[in-house]
Structure 1
Amino acid sequence: MTVVNGKYIEVDSGVELFVQDVGHGDPIIFIPGFTFTTEVFIHQVEHFSKTNRVIVIDPRSHGRSTITLQGNDYVTHGTDLAEVIDALELKNVTLAGWSFGCLTIWEYLKQEGYDNVKSLIFIDMSPKALSTNHEEDWVEGPLNDIGTIYNTYLRNPAGQREFIKAYTTSVMVQRDVTEDELNWLAEQSLKTPYYIASNLFASGMFSDYRNEAREASELVPTLTIVADHWADIATRFTQKISPKSSIEVLGGHLMFWEHSEEFNELVEKFLSGEN
C-alpha cells in the first residue's frame, strides 16, 4: 500500500501516533484492532475518501506509531483518540472500530461523551470479551483458550506470529489466503512487540463496556457488523446489550478486507440513514 497524506500527532510526551488523513467531507475515523495497522483499511480509504474525509490511526505501539512501554491499554488508547480528534479539530465524526479498536471507541465515549460524535460503527467486537457463561454471552472464547493464548503464544515473536497466522486462517478470513497474504498480515501484527501485545491482550480481555455500548446505541446512530461464525450469539447479545443498534452479518473477522465491496455498501447505507 502506498501511504498518502500521512502525518504524526503527539498524544503524550514522546509518543506520536501515525495518522493517515485523506479526502474531504464528513470525517470517518477507522481504528484497527489488536496489533494491526492502518494498512488493513486500504479498501475503505480508497472508497470513502471519494466522498468523505477518511482518517486511519495506528494506535500507540502499532504500525508506524511510537513503540512505548507506557499506556498499552484501552483506557489510554481512548485518551489518545481524543487527542487526535482535538488536534485535527474534527466535528461530527463517525467512529469506526474493528475488534479491539471498538474498545478504544467505547473508552473515548466514556471519557469525552458525544459532543463531536455523529455516528458509530462497531466491527465484530463484544463490549465484554470474557465471561464464565460463554455459551450465552458473546465472548472471544472459553477462558482456558484465552489463557493459553496469553501464557503460551504471546511470550515471544514466534508465538505471536503463530497465533496471528492461525487466527487468520480459522477466524479472520473465510477463503484460502496465499502465503504472501498470510505473511503480510502477520507482519502487520509483529510491528507491535510481543511483550506489548500481551499487555494489550490482557487489557482487552478484561474490559467491560456494556454500559457504554448500551448508551451509545441510545444516543447516536449505531451499526454493529458481526462475522458469520458467531452471528447467532453475537446478534442476540447485541440486541440485549445495545437494543437500538442496527446489526449486519458479513464474512469473517476481517470482512472489511476480504469482502470490501459488500462491507463498504453496508457502511454507505448506514451513513445515508437507510439502515
Structure 2
Amino acid sequence: MTASVGSYLEVAPGVEIYYEEHGTGSPLVFVPGWTFTTEVFEHQVAHFARSHRVIVVDPRSQGRSSKTLQGNDYSTHGADLAKLFASLELRDAVLVGWSTGTLDVLGYVQHAGTSALKGVVGIDMSPKPLSVSSDDWVEGPLDELAGAWRAFLRSPQGQRDFIIYYANEVMVQRALSPAEQDWIVRQSLTTPHYLASAIFADAMFCDFSAELQTLAQAVPTLYVLAEHWAETATAFLTRNFPLVKTESFGGHMMFWEHAERFNATLTNFIEELG
C-alpha cells in the first residue's frame, strides 16, 4: 500500500475540493454524506487500499474543501465530482456514495453519464427523499423534516444537537463512546450551520429518479440499506428500479459500525463485476 496523498482540485474560481488517494490498482471512489468528511471511510481505506486505488473526497463546503456560498446543491456536487474524475483520468471506477453522498453520485451521472463507471454502490439514501406517495421511500414526513430544519439547523448548537441525536438514534445500533460521538460531531461541524442548512434543504428536494434509472440500466448498481426501513426501501427500489440489487444490515452508518461485513459485501460486488 502506498502512502496517502492529500490534494486539492479547483472546481470553480476560488473553490477547491479536497481528496486523498491511497494504494494502487483499479479505482474505488468514496463520497461521504451531508456535512461529513473523508475520515468516515477509515475502515474502507485501510481495507481496500491493499488492492485498489482508493480515492476519498470531501464534497464542496465539507471537510477540508472550500466553504462557499455558491453551489451547495447536489447537482453542483455531481459536477464537482465529474471534474475530479476528469482530472484524475478515472476509468472503470467503482463509485460509492453514503447517505446524501449517493445524491452526489447521481448528480455525477447527470453531468457525466456512466462511461467512466464499472459499478456503483449507494448507501442508504433514496433518490427522491420527499414524496407525497405513502408507498415511496422517503426521509420522513414533510412536517417532521421541516420541524427538524427549523429547530436544529439555524445555529451551531442546533447542528450539534441534531448530529448527536442522529448519530445515536439512526446511524448506529450500539451505544457510542463519548470519544466516538465527539469524532462524529466534529466531522459534521467542519460545515458551518448556515451551509449545512442549505445543503440539507437541497437534499430533501432532490429527485434523481431519472439518473438512477439511467445508472442501473448501464452498470451494475447495489444499494446497501439500514435495517430500520429496509422493507420499505427494498419494495420502492424493486418497484421503480428493478435492476438495482439490495442488501440490508445495521443502521445508517453500517459501513463503519459493521465494517467487516460491509467490506465483504463490497468485495463480493466488485468481484462479480469481473
Partners of 2:65 and 2:234 in 1: CA distance: 34
Q: In 1, distance between residues paired with 2:131 and 2:273?
A: 34
CA distance in 2, matches of 1:253, 1:59: 19
Whether the 8 Å contact between 1:214 and 1:243 is mirrored in structure 2 is no
Q: Secondary structure at the match of 1:107?
A: helix
| Offset of residue 4 of structure 1 | 2.9
**2: CA distance, partners of 1:213 / 1:86:** 21
Does structure 1 residue 170 correspond to structure 2 residue 169? yes
Equivalent residues in 2 for 1:231-246 (5 A)?
231-246=230-245
Q: What SS does the corresponding residue of 2:137 show, helix, strand or coil?
A: coil
Alpha-carbon separation, structure 1, partners of 2:149 and 2:128 = 17
Aligned to 1:259: 258
Letter in 2 for 1:180: A
Deviations 1:131-157 (A, max 9, x none): 123x42110011111001211100000
**Cα distance in 2, alignment partners of residues 206 and 25 from structure 1:** 37
Mapped contact 1:26–1:53 kept (Cα < 8 A): yes
Percent sequence identity is 48
SS at match of 1:20: strand
Cα distance in 1, alignment partners of residues 127 and 79 from structure 2: 18
CA distance in 1, matches of 2:167, 2:90: 34
User: Are positions 1:92 and 2:67 aligned together?
Assistant: no
Q: Does the aligned pair in 1 maintain the 2:220–2:273 contact within 8 Å?
A: no
1:60-71 maps to which residues of 2 (within 5 A)? 60-71=60-71
**TM-score, length of structure 2 as denominator length:** 0.97
In the TM superposition, what whole-angstrom CA distance separates every residue of 1:105-137 from its partner, at most 9, and x where no partner exists?
A: 11111111111111100000001000123x421
Q: Give the structure-1-normalised TM-score.
A: 0.97
Q: Indicate the larger mover: 220-229 or 143-152.
A: 143-152
Deviation per CA, 1:50-78, whole angstroms, max 9, x where unpaired? Answer: 11100000001101111111111111101
Residue deviations 1:80-100, cap 9 Å, x none?
001111111111111100010
Report the counterpart of residue 75 of structure 2 in structure 1: 75
Q: Tell me the amino acid that sits aligned with residue 22 of structure 2.
A: V
Q: Which residue of 2 aligns with 1:46?
A: 46
Moved over 4 A (4+): none
**Uncovered stretches (5+) of structure 1, i.e. residues with no partner:** none
Letter in 2 for 1:257: W
Residues 213-269 of structure 1: CA deviation (Å, up to 9, x unaligned): 122111101111000000100110111122111110010000000000000000000
Report the secondary structure of 1:60's partner residue: coil
Partner of 1:136: 135
Which consecutive residues of structure 2, in runs of 5 or more, have no partner in the other structure? none
Residue aligned with 1:272, SS = helix
- Note the aligned Cα RMSD (angstroms): 1.3
Q: Distance in 2 between matches of 1:79 and 1:274?
A: 26
**Contact 2:75-2:110 within 8 A present in 1 as well:** no
State the alpha-carbon separation in 1 of the partners of residues 257 and 46 from structure 2.
15
Total equivalences in the alignment: 272
Alignment of 1:184 with 2:183, yes or no, is yes
Contact residue 224 and residue 246 of structure 2 kept, 8 A: yes
Question: Cα offset for 1:33?
Answer: 0.3
Within 2, Cα distance between the matches of 1:129 and 1:274? 29
Q: Does 1:222 align with 2:221?
A: yes
Q: How far apart, in 2, do the equivalents of 1:35 and 1:64 lie? A: 11
CA-CA distance at 1:274 after TM superposition: 7.7
